[in-house]
């Protein structure tokens, strides 16, 4: 199984083809394709390539599925014995992306979404006896 470790939004993610990720908001529209060129590590079935700190020429392609907001984080501040309370909430903007292709050093295609994985599973029919 081929996977890569990418850096985006100040965080590192381990990704492989057909993975869905919730990452920090990207300045692009839904349905658009994007590239992550900050690849730290690529592991193929045969070998592993580690950058110092990045792998030159390696990239990961993804497709933005939707732009959304994360769950609400509540902020509650209280000063004791002063009847002073303040409650606030924050929802961080997020992008949901699906990894489509992983390219190794020199632009060599290592992994992509299998067409079989995209097909919907057929529902099993019951046998009548």
Average per-residue pLDDT for the chain: 87
Task: Examine residue 128 and state whether it is found in any structural domain, yes or no.
Answer: no
Residue 106 lies inside a defined structural domain of this protein: yes
Judge whether 122 lies within some domain.
no
pLDDT at 105: 87
Kindly state the average pLDDT of the residues 71-95: 97
- The string of pLDDT tens digits covering residues 36-53 is 999 999 998 888 989 899
In terms of pTM, does the model score above 0.75?
A: yes
Q: Which helix (H) or strand (E) covers residue 4, if one does?
A: strand 3-8
pLDDT value, residue 120: 41
Residue 57 lies in a domain: yes
pLDDT value, residue 128:
53
Q: Considering only CA atoms, give the Rg of the chain.
A: 21
Q: Which domain holds residue 19?
A: 3-114
Domain count, the chain: 1
CB 117 within 8 A of CB 16: no
Domain membership flag for residue 74: yes
Distance of alpha carbon 34 from alpha carbon 61, whole angstroms: 6
Helices (H), the chain: 115-118
pLDDT band of 110, cuts 50, 70, 90: confident
127 belongs to a structural domain: no
């Amino acid at each position: 199984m081929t996977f890569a470790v990418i850096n985006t939004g100040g965080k590192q993610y381990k990704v492989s083809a057909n993975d869905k990720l919730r990452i920090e908001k990207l300045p692009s529209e839904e349905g658009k394709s994007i590239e992550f060129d900050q690849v730290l590590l690529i592991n193929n079935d045969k070998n592993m390539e580690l950058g110092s700190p990045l792998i030159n020429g390696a990239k990961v392609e993804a497709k933005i599925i939707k732009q959304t907001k994360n769950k609400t984080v509540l902020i509650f501040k209280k000063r004791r014995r002063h009847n002073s309370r303040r409650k606030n909430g924050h929802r961080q903007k997020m992008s949901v992306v699906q990894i489509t292709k992983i390219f190794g050093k020199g632009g060599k295609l290592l992994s992509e979404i299998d067409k079989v994985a995209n097909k919907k599973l057929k529902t099993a029919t019951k046998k009548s006896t």
